[in-house]
């Protein structure tokens, strides 16, 4: 069984936080941040909830697809920063849209959207769904240590979505998933709780990261995944028309582009204005590519996500208008 993407959508908070804004309370500057990350600004939730962003992105995807929420047979949401631990973010999306289908979350960190696509594909292959809404929604601002300039300058909030349909075509041409087990290098501790039988053994749930380790992993993950996709599909890397990589850091993207020896213009970038939105980066970047008209019928597009775990998820699609 194959699937086709019928529509995409994305949503960002209204509040723009620039590097200069951050320099007002951190020992940093626009130049320091931009030269090390490629980020100029990011969007941060203030009045909006993550539920709001997820539903807005979903509605835009449904509108483009021409699909009513009531016709959905499954909603899969990738998130690690939902508005609630229980129920799933996907359930809140279903309620907001007025859908009554099965709905659940997956947690794959920055590779989560591609993982969610594969989960949806599996439901279709077993004949359990033919119209699926796949969403990635992240409010990274709620898990950051805003006194740590090495991490808090990197991230933002947002959501992206895609409506996919079972299809008899050839797409996806290839999918690739792997884990290089490493829990420490990129980590957010769980909620401590107030159990009287076990005192809290860690501080607040804020993100910690070994930047050098993540950089090396990210570059290698992109290169290995792209080569794996090309090999599975029987095409050359140079035959791939567009690359939608996880938007972690400009230095990671630039290093991978150089090693792969691909045209830099084929690599989608949203990082400058959004920062790293974890699993929402890929669907948001894909939506920008679709709505700009740059992605044409019949072209090949590679999606590569990588992040905490350390997980990698990749997918090669032939785009059908």
Q: What 8-state DSSP symbol labels residue 235?
A: -
Among 91, 242, 276, 281, the active-site one is 276
Is 110 an active-site residue? Answer: yes
The conformational region for residue 11 under phi > 0 = left, psi -120 to 50 = alpha, else beta, is beta
- Cβ distance 158 to 284 under 8 Å? yes
The one catalytic residue among 19, 246, 281, 315: 246
Sequential DSSP letters for 104-145: EEE--GGGHHHHHHHHHHHHHHTTS-SEEEEEEEEEGGGG--
| Geometric angle at alpha carbon 63, from 9 and 42, rounded to 5° | 20
Tell me the backbone φ, ψ of residue 136, rounded to 5 degrees. Answer: -130, 125
Tokens linked to 1: 């069984």
Out of 45, 77, 101, 110, pick the active-site residue.
Answer: 110
List active site positions: 110, 246, 276
């Amino acid at each position: 069984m194959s699937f086709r993407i019928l529509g995409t959508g994305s949503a960002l908070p209204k509040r723009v936080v620039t590097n200069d804004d951050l320099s007002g309370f951190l020992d940093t500057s626009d130049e320091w941040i931009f030269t090390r990350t490629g980020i100029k600004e990011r969007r941060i939730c203030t009045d909006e909830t993550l539920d709001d962003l997820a539903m807005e992105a979903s509605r835009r995807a449904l509108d483009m697809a021409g699909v009513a929420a009531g016709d959905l047979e499954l909603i899969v949401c990738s998130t690690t920063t939902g508005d609630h631990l229980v129920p799933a973010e996907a359930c809140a999306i279903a309620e907001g849209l007025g859908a009554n289908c099965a709905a659940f979350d997956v947690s794959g960190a920055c590779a989560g959207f591609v993982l969610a696509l594969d989960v949806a594909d599996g439901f279709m292959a077993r004949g359990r769904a033919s119209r699926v809404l796949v969403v990635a929604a992240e409010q990274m601002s709620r898990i950051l240590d805003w006194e740590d300039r090495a991490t808090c300058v990197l991230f933002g909030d947002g959501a992206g979505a895609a409506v996919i349909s079972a299809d008899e075509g050839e797409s996806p041409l290839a999918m690739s998933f792997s884990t290089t087990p490493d829990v420490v290098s990129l980590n957010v501790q769980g909620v401590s709780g107030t159990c009287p039988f076990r005192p809290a053994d860690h501080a607040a749930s804020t993100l910690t990261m070994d930047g050098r380790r993540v950089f090396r992993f990210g570059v290698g993950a992109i290169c290995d995944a792209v080569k794996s996709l090309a090999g599975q599909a029987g095409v050359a890397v140079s035959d791939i028309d567009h690359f939608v990589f996880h938007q972690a850091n400009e230095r990671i993207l630039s290093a991978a582009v150089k090693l792969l020896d691909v045209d830099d213009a084929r690599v989608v970038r949203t990082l400058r204005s959004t920062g790293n939105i974890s699993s929402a980066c890929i669907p948001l970047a894909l939506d920008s590519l679709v709505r700009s008209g740059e992605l044409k019928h019949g072209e090949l597009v590679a999606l590569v996500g990588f992040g905490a775990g350390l997980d990698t998820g990749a997918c090669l699609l032939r785009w059908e208008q």
